[in-house]
Structure 1
Amino acid sequence: MGLIDVKEANCKNCYRCLKGCLVKSLKYQNNKVEVIEQQCVLCGHCIVTCEQKAKILVNDVDRVKRMAKDPDCKTVVSLAPSFIAAYGLENQGKVVAALKRLGFDYVEETSIGAYYVTLAYRKMVEEQKRDVILTTCCPTVNLYVTKYFPNLTHVLAPAVSPMVAHGQLIKKHYGPDTKVVFIGPCVSKLDESEHSPDVDGALTFGQVNEWMEQEGIFLESQEPEPFDRHSNYSRIYPVQEGILRDLQRTAPANDRYDYLSVSGLKNVKDLLGEIQSGQIHDCFIEVNACNDACINGPMMPTHHKKVHSGRLQVQQYAGRATAELEPEVPESIYRTFTPEAVKSEIPGHDTIRSILAQIGKPTEEQELNCGSCGYPTCKDKAIAVYQGKAQLYMCMPYMYDISQTLANVTLSATPNYIIAVDETMKIKEFNLAAQELFKVSRSEALQQYLFDFIDPSDFEEVIRTKQSIYNKKVRYDDLGISTEQTIVYVQDQNLAIGIFQDITKEEKASEQAYQRKLHSVEMAQKVIDKQMVVAQEIASLLGETTAETKVTLNNLKRLIEDGNDNE
Structure 2
Amino acid sequence: MAGIVWTEKNKCKQCYTCVRQCEVKAVRVKNGQAEVLTERCISCGNCVKVCSQNAKMVKSGIKETLDILSQKQFKVAALAPSFPAAFQAGDYKKMIAALKALGFDEVWEVAVGAQLIATEYEKLLANANPPIIGSTCPAVVNLIEKHHPNLIPYLAPVVSPMIATGRLIKSIYPGARVVFIGPCIAKKDEAEKVHGVDVVLTFQELEDVLTLSKIDIESPILNQDFDEPYFDSHIAEKAFRGFPVSGGLYLSLKDNFNFSRNTIVVGGKEGAVSCIENIEKTDFKPFFVDILMCNGCIDGPFFKNVNYFINWEKVEAFVQDNRGYAKNQESLRDFIRSFQDYSKVNLYRDFTNMQVSLNYPSETEIKKILSYTNKFTREDELNCGACGYSSCREKALAVYNDIAEKDMCLPFLLTKEMDEKKTTMEYNREMNAIIESSYDGIFVSDGDGRTLRLNRAFARFLDKPLESLIGMKAEKLEEERIIYPSLTYLVLKEKRRLTLIQETSSGKKILSTGNPIYDEEGHVSRVVINSRDMEELNRLSRESEEA
Partner residue, 1:244: 250
Q: 2:416 aligns with which of 372, 389, 402?
A: 402
| Cross-structure match for 2:153 | 154
Matches within 5 A, 1:80-479: 80-127=80-127, 129-175=128-174, 177-221=175-219, 222-223=222-223, 225-233=229-237, 234-247=240-253, 250-252=254-256, 254-290=258-294, 292-300=295-303, 303-319=304-320, 332-415=346-429, 470-471=452-453
Unaligned runs of 5+ in 1: 419-432, 438-466, 489-505, 522-567
RMSD (Å), alpha carbons: 3.3
The CA distance in 1 between the partners of 2:420 and 2:54, in whole Å, is 33
Instruction: State the shift of 1:73 in Å.
Output: 2.1
Alpha-carbon shift at residue 253 of structure 1 (Å): 5.4
Q: Is the 8 A contact 2:264 2:286 kept in 1?
A: no
Letter in 1 for 2:296: A
1:89, distance to aligned residue in structure 2 (A): 3.1
1:5–1:57: 8 Å Cα contact kept in structure 2?
Answer: yes
Cross-structure match for 1:448: none
Secondary structure of 1:311's aligned partner:
helix
Give deviations 1:456-497, integer Å, cap 9, x for gaps.
xxxxxxxxxxx98623566889xx998689979xxxxxxxxx
Q: Return closer, same or farther for 1:377/1:53 CA change in 2, 3 Å cut-off.
A: same
TM-score, length basis structure 1: 0.73
What do the CA deviations read for 1:228-248 (whole angstroms, capped 9, x no partner)?
Answer: 11433211110012111111x
SS in 2 for 1:84: helix
Shift of 1:61: 2.3
Q: Structure 1 CA distance, aligned partners of 2:298 and 2:270?
A: 18
For the 8 Å contact 1:470–1:485, the answer to whether it is kept is no
Number of positions where the alignment pairs a residue of Structure 1 with one of Structure 2: 452
CA distance in 2, matches of 1:53, 1:110: 30
**C-alpha distance after superposition, 1:308-349 (max 9, x if no partner):** 111012122223989959689766112232332221111111
CA 1:486–1:334: 2 relative to 1, 3 Å:
farther
CA spacing shift, 1:354–1:332, aligned 2, 3 Å: same
Q: Deviations over 1:511-546 (max 9, x none)?
A: 65433437989xxxxxxxxxxxxxxxxxxxxxxxxx
Residue type of the alignment partner of 2:452: Y
Partner of 1:542: none
1:10 is matched with 11
Q: How far apart in 2 are the matches of 1:47 and 1:347?
A: 31
1:329 to 1:114, Cα distance in 2 relative to 1, 3 A? farther
Instruction: Name the SS for the 1:352 alignment partner.
Output: helix
Whichever residue aligns with residue 152 of structure 1, its letter is L
Q: Flag the 1:486–1:390 CA change in 2: closer, same or farther, 3 A.
A: farther
Contact 1:468/1:486, CA 8 A, preserved across alignment: no
* Superposed displacement of residue 137, structure 1: 0.7
Are the aligned partners of 1:372 and 1:396 in contact in 2 as well (CA < 8 Å)? yes
Aligned mates of 2:242, 2:58 — CA distance in 1: 28
Task: Say if 2:53 is the partner of 1:39.
Answer: no
The answer as to whether partners of 1:185 and 1:204 remain within 8 angstroms in 2 is yes
Higher-Rg member (1/2): 1
Change (3 A) 1:32 1:133: same
Distance in 2 between residues matched to 1:21 and 1:255, nearest whole Å: 35
In 2, the alpha carbon distance for the partners of 1:282 and 1:355 equals 40
CA contact (8 A) 1:74 1:105 kept: yes
| Alpha-carbon distance between aligned partners in 1 of 2:12 and 2:450, rounded to the nearest angstrom | 29
Instruction: Point out where structure 2 has 5 or more consecutive residues left out of the alignment.
Output: 323-330, 438-448, 472-510, 513-529, 543-547
Cα offsets for 1:68-105 (capped at 9, x unmatched) = 122x1221111101010111331111111111222222
Q: TM-score, normalised by structure 2?
A: 0.75
Contact 2:122-2:257 within 8 A present in 1 as well: no
Q: Return structure 1 stretches of 4+ with deviation > 4 angstroms.
A: 320-331, 472-477, 480-488, 509-513, 518-521
Q: 1:517 to 1:270 in 2, by over 3 A?
A: same
Q: Structure 2: which amino acid aligns with 1:344? A: L
Return the offset for 1:411.
1.1
- Give the Cα–Cα distance (whole angstroms) in 1 for the partners of residues 431 and 308 of structure 2: 57
Letter in 1 for 2:298: I
- Mark the CA change 1:309 to 1:350 in structure 2 (over 3 Å): closer, same or farther: same
Q: Kindly indicate whether residue 536 of structure 2 is the aligned counterpart of residue 515 of structure 1.
A: yes
Amino acid at match of 1:189: K
Look up the SS of the partner of 2:232 in the other structure. coil
Alpha-carbon distance between aligned partners in 1 of 2:429 and 2:467, rounded to the nearest angstrom = 13
Q: 2:316 & 2:171 partners in 1: Cα distance?
A: 30
- Cα deviation for residue 259 of structure 1 reads 2.7
Q: How far apart, in 1, do the equivalents of 2:456 and 2:230 lie?
A: 80
Q: Which amino acid aligns with 2:386?
A: S
Distance in structure 2 (CA, Å) of the matches to 1:125 and 1:311: 28
Superposed CA offset, 1:367-397 (max 9, x none): 1111111111111111111111111111121
* Code of the aligned partner of 1:258: N
**Structure 2: how far apart are the matches of 1:87 and 1:340?**
37
Judged with a 3 Å threshold, the aligned counterparts in structure 2 of structure 1 residues 87 and 48 are, in CA distance, closer, same or farther, namely same
**Aligned counterparts of 2:375 and 2:470: Cα–Cα separation in 1:** 39
In 2, the alpha carbon distance for the partners of 1:47 and 1:30 equals 20
SS at match of 1:90: coil
